[in-house]
A and B are shown apart, each in its own frame.
Chain A
């Protein structure tokens, strides 16, 4: 059974940093590209970032470019999102999702003073 479990969310002040993790199991992690998608409270879904299976190809949404960094460790079956210079409007539930359309449970990031 495919499982994606995010962690690392929490409350952070504006300008602060957080590192999210996504632990994958039940599939050959390194064979799949991965994405981060977020959902602000009461809002729709917004794609954040993409990383290819080997980690070579990376893309970001304009809203996070230069502040967020996606990475992966295929030996540890893990995906990461380093988030710096956080803003109020980065407050959201962050999901990892595979290109096989499996989604994690999400982790809540709250940016507030």
Chain B
């Protein structure tokens, strides 16, 4: 199985701050990486696929980068509505695997 290691586990940030979340795969995943946003009691929502391509309708304050095994999600200016748990997910293998999540809270 491909293991996804995500950090940090949680963040407490101020409105307007820049947020960076990292994800490392245990082997190369050919950039088949998705970033998901999940708000409490809601289903996950795909923000970015193929490591850096924004899903339609997702604000440009979200961006993804990286290749090979190391990937990053950046939120350029955090707003209250961005408070959520963010997961990385690989889909290089039919057996999707997920990071453990990063809980982003507003100070």
Contacts and interface: CB of A to CB of B under 8 A. Distances in A.
Contacts, number: 41
B80 interface: no
B96 A104 contact: no
A68 B17 CA distance: 44
Contact of B46 (A35, A59, A103, A106): A103
Nearest to A106: B43
Given A101-B34, A103-B44, A45 B98 contact: yes
B95 A59 contact: yes
Interface in A17-71: 35, 37, 44-47, 50, 57, 59, 61
A102 B55 CA distance: 10
Nearest to B89: A45
Interface in B15-68: 34, 36, 43-46, 49, 55
Nearest to A96: B43
Given A35-B96, A44-B100, A50-B94, A101 B43 contact: no
Nearest to A95: B43
